[in-house]
Amino acid sequence: MEENRLASYIVKKFQMREANTKGYSPLTLAFIGDSVFDLIIKTIIVERANQSVNHLHENVSELVRAKTQADMADILWDDLEEEEQAVYKRGKNAKIYRIAKNATRLDYHKATGFEALIGKLYLDNQLERAIFLVKEGMERLNISPVKMEDKGERY
């Protein structure tokens, strides 16, 4: 399995047909994109240090939030391809009924757009591009994926 073919691998194993993501609603793309973003961040943190779940959760919570995703979208905008910008805009402008309690309405809309983009990239077997954007966003925002040291906790 190629490293950026996870979605295709899942589709194949469950004997489903490949979907045309152009027909997906932006909120559907954001739904899967949220999980993909979360998985990328959790993978970074878990691989960095094997600590208690509480420590892992604290580190993940600092990165997997609307403000961080909104900031990434802002700082990466000029580097997005035209189609990627269109997907982001569709997600950002989608009618959202609930806003996270720790986010402003604007940040939440931007985060939804960013998640929609990550979701589309994932479903279109462009996981490598999604990971690149997250990594580039973290670097440009000077975000350290882990502020902890490996304290040798093993479970």
Distance, in Å, from the CA atom of 14 to the CA atom of 101, rounded to the nearest integer, reads 36
Instruction: Establish whether 34 is a catalytic residue.
Output: yes
The gap between the terminal CA atoms of the chain, to the nearest Å, is 30
Structure tokens, 116: 């929609």
Name the active-site residue from 34, 71, 107, 124: 34
Backbone angles phi, psi at 73, to 5 degrees: -60, -45
Structure tokens, 26: 């932006």
Q: Which positions are annotated as active-site residues?
A: 34
